[in-house]
Structure 1
Amino acid sequence: MAFVWPLMLLGLLLLPLLAGGGVLLARRRARAALEVADAELWPHLRRAPTGWVAQLPWLLYLAAIALLLVGAARPVASLPLLVNRATVMVVVDTSKSMIAVDQSPSRLEAARAIVRTFLDRVPRGARVGLVSFSAYASVLVLPTARHVEVRKALEALEPQEATSLGAAILAAVRALPGRERAGEELLGRDPVPPELQELPPATVLLISDGVSTSGLDPLEAARVARAHQVRIYTVGVGSPRGSIQEVDGQLSFIPFDPSGLEQIAALTGGRYVYPPTPDALEAVPAELGYAPRWEHQRLEISAFFAAGGFVLVLVGGLLSLRWYRRLP
């Protein structure tokens, strides 16, 4: 056990002084009572216990002070907690085609709304990460149970240039636990076979208009995902008719291509979702899987010491009132 404010523990050195003061105070009160009471009536009037039991309230107060001082030092301990090892990487297309307005207010804003809806419904404790991609993929948030980090990164997304679906899929898979060296062969390196028995459940949620213009073959990356037991759910954003949009001062046709998204989902055992309505997205969080595991995590346990100190003060006070009709 460690302490955030260990200097607070120096207060424990005062406990012997407090204990000595309590003994002196008890003796003084006993002598004062004998002086004012009739010696023959004293045994009949005195109902409080004698010996060390008579000091029990005071001992409880001392123990309470010790617990409160330890709590004030902010102890931190490594405790076993049951955590969900299931993980999902959210992958958002930020290529320039996502500025198209065939899905209101734009494809990128629609993708942002989809991720917000997903985060609202994903189980607490599930680990979520975020990847954005255009000509290349960037892992913005590694898998974490702090979904607020994903929300912050999501709001900062801006449209970029070309689109590489394959790079995005591979980056997402390699960010998942136990899959850090997945797809080495696609990067020109010696392949590393996956250790399937060690892999926790993992899912990729890919949100895109489906158009891939550069980089790795998306289907090759999807095969890597399948080999590492990663399901990919794809969500299409855009209109089947595409969109005509002014890009760099010229009118351009921006297509929407769901066929690649459908193949990726089918190849990995996931599902293609279109249109991305809340009802259609409802089942995705429920299919993430659950992999409970005991893990040691460092947690501050000040509250336990504070609660123990409060209980001891309460018990000591009740005994003092019952035996001596006073506090403390």
Structure 2
Amino acid sequence: MTFLSPERLWLLGLLPALAAVYVLMQLRRRNYAVRFTNLALLSQVAPRRPGWRRHVAAALFLVMIALMMVGFARPAATVKVPRDRATIMVAVDVSLSMMARDVSPSRFEAAKAAAKKFIGELPARFNVGVVAFAGNANLVAAPSDDRTAAIASLDQLALAKRTAIGEAVFTSLQAVRSFDAEARQDPPPAHIVLLSDGDNTTGRTVQEAIDASRVSQIPVSTIAFGTPYGTVDIEGETTSVSVNKETLRALADSTEGKAYEAADADQLREVYANIGTSLGFETEHRDVAARYIGIALLFALAAGGASLAWFSRLP
């Protein structure tokens, strides 16, 4: 529970004192009744009634006061609100290591298929852009709400040497800053989803990409795709291409993104589905004090009704 005015909760400390005063008054009432030695008169001064009824109205009253105090502290509920102009940049590794067939039919083909499904299922309010990176990074689909263009761009991708993860982040950040006429002064809320199976081997460093993402306040979520057993044949030589999870996790953790791992096509689709449900929202704290005040009024009515029914008076 979040409170917008938590300093007001100190009032709850008065409740035990109020309850203690009530108990003392009940004991004092009993002591006054015992002073009468004439038992005939005692039954008239303190007639026997079900004891618990006497305390119900008081208990309901105390609960009402507690709820009113909590409401006075302005409790707030955490809600997710869709973000206007939300932009998702999908960065896909097209280095030669993506030829590996440890994922069927290959890392490259599985990555393209999963990215297409991810883009196609994004809510209509999202803008989406696509970046491909190997020895450098290229914006192959500018961010827009045109799903057809973004998906078609994935079919045009071709593999190349080296892996420029840092450049992929910089290219994605530049695409966000160029989104529309307002983007330079008021960039849209954005998130980068970067899929790779390797380490940064060329271009600007991952640390430079982290610093730039922090300045832009754009998180980078990463997907480490592939198994430790992948191999590719390059110029007649078989080369091991295991996934460098540490680099990708550092990039995600340092930019307030999330780091995912996927060892096959099914896991990759699941990762994209999880990402799709978490992006494009911002968290807000909405005042729900009226909810507590409303419940307090119900307890007040219950206390008043019980007191009137049993004792013909208000508490």
TM-score range, shorter chain: 0.5 to 0.7
Look up the equivalent residue of 2:276 and give its one-letter code. P
Query: Taking structure 1 as reference, are residues 101 and 128 closer, same or farther at Cα in structure 2, changes over 3 Å only?
Result: same
Q: Separation in 1 of the partners of 2:136 and 2:174?
A: 14
- Report the CA distance between 1:178 and its aligned residue: 5.9
Matched, 1:222 2:210: yes
> Is the partner of 1:282 in helix, strand or coil?
helix
2:190 aligned residue (202, 208, 211): 202
1:244 aligned residue (228, 231, 236): 231
- Report the CA distance between 1:285 and its aligned residue: 1.7
Look up the equivalent residue of 2:241 and give its one-letter code. I
Query: Taking structure 1 as reference, are residues 145 and 264 closer, same or farther at Cα in structure 2, changes over 3 Å only?
Result: same
> Is the partner of 1:160 in helix, strand or coil?
coil
Matched, 1:96 2:96: yes
Any idea what the Cα deviations from partners look like across 1:283-312, whole Å, max 9, x if unmatched? 312222248xxxxxxxxxxxxxxxxxxxxx
Correspondence for 2:248: 261
Any idea what the Cα deviations from partners look like across 1:230-281, whole Å, max 9, x if unmatched? 1111111110x23232111112222211111111111111111112443333
Query: Which stretch of structure 1 is more off in the superposition, 111-120 or 261-270?
Result: 111-120
Q: Separation in 1 of the partners of 2:255 and 2:84?
A: 22
Look up the equivalent residue of 2:189 and give its one-letter code. P
Q: Separation in 2 of the partners of 1:220 and 1:167?
A: 9
- Report the CA distance between 1:119 and its aligned residue: 1.2
| Alpha-carbon contact 2:115-2:272 (below 8 Å) kept | no
- Report the CA distance between 1:174 and its aligned residue: 0.8
Q: Separation in 2 of the partners of 1:199 and 1:290?
A: 15
Correspondence for 1:107: 107
How many matched pairs?
195
Correspondence for 2:260: 273
- Report the CA distance between 1:135 and its aligned residue: 0.6
Q: Separation in 2 of the partners of 1:126 and 1:171?
A: 19
Q: Separation in 2 of the partners of 1:223 and 1:109?
A: 32
Correspondence for 1:122: 122
Structure 1 residues without counterparts, runs of 5 or longer = 1-82, 181-194, 292-328
The CA RMSD measured in Å over matched residues stands at: 2.4
Q: TM-score, normalised by structure 1?
A: 0.55
> Is the partner of 2:232 in helix, strand or coil?
strand
Q: How does 1:1-328 map to 2 (within 5 A)?
A: 84-177=84-177, 198-239=186-227, 241-275=228-262, 276-290=267-281
Q: Percent identity?
A: 29
| Alpha-carbon contact 1:179-1:228 (below 8 Å) kept | no
Look up the equivalent residue of 1:214 and give its one-letter code. T
Query: Taking structure 1 as reference, are residues 196 and 140 closer, same or farther at Cα in structure 2, changes over 3 Å only?
Result: closer
Look up the equivalent residue of 2:220 and give its one-letter code. I
- Report the CA distance between 1:116 and its aligned residue: 1.6
| Alpha-carbon contact 2:97-2:198 (below 8 Å) kept | no
| Alpha-carbon contact 2:163-2:198 (below 8 Å) kept | no
Look up the equivalent residue of 2:249 and give its one-letter code. E
Correspondence for 2:12: none
Q: Separation in 1 of the partners of 2:214 and 2:274?
A: 21
Any idea what the Cα deviations from partners look like across 1:176-207, whole Å, max 9, x if unmatched? 03689xxxxxxxxxxxxxx9982321000101
Q: Separation in 1 of the partners of 2:101 and 2:88?
A: 28
Look up the equivalent residue of 2:100 and give its one-letter code. A
> Is the partner of 1:176 in helix, strand or coil?
helix
Q: Separation in 2 of the partners of 1:268 and 1:196?
A: 21
Any idea what the Cα deviations from partners look like across 1:16-69, whole Å, max 9, x if unmatched? xxxxxxxxxxxxxxxxxxxxxxxxxxxxxxxxxxxxxxxxxxxxxxxxxxxxxx
Q: Separation in 2 of the partners of 1:258 and 1:163?
A: 14
Q: Separation in 1 of the partners of 2:179 and 2:251?
A: 19
Q: Separation in 2 of the partners of 1:120 and 1:196?
A: 28
Correspondence for 1:305: none
| Alpha-carbon contact 1:273-1:281 (below 8 Å) kept | no
Query: Taking structure 1 as reference, are residues 277 and 141 closer, same or farther at Cα in structure 2, changes over 3 Å only?
Result: closer
Q: Separation in 2 of the partners of 1:196 and 1:157?
A: 29
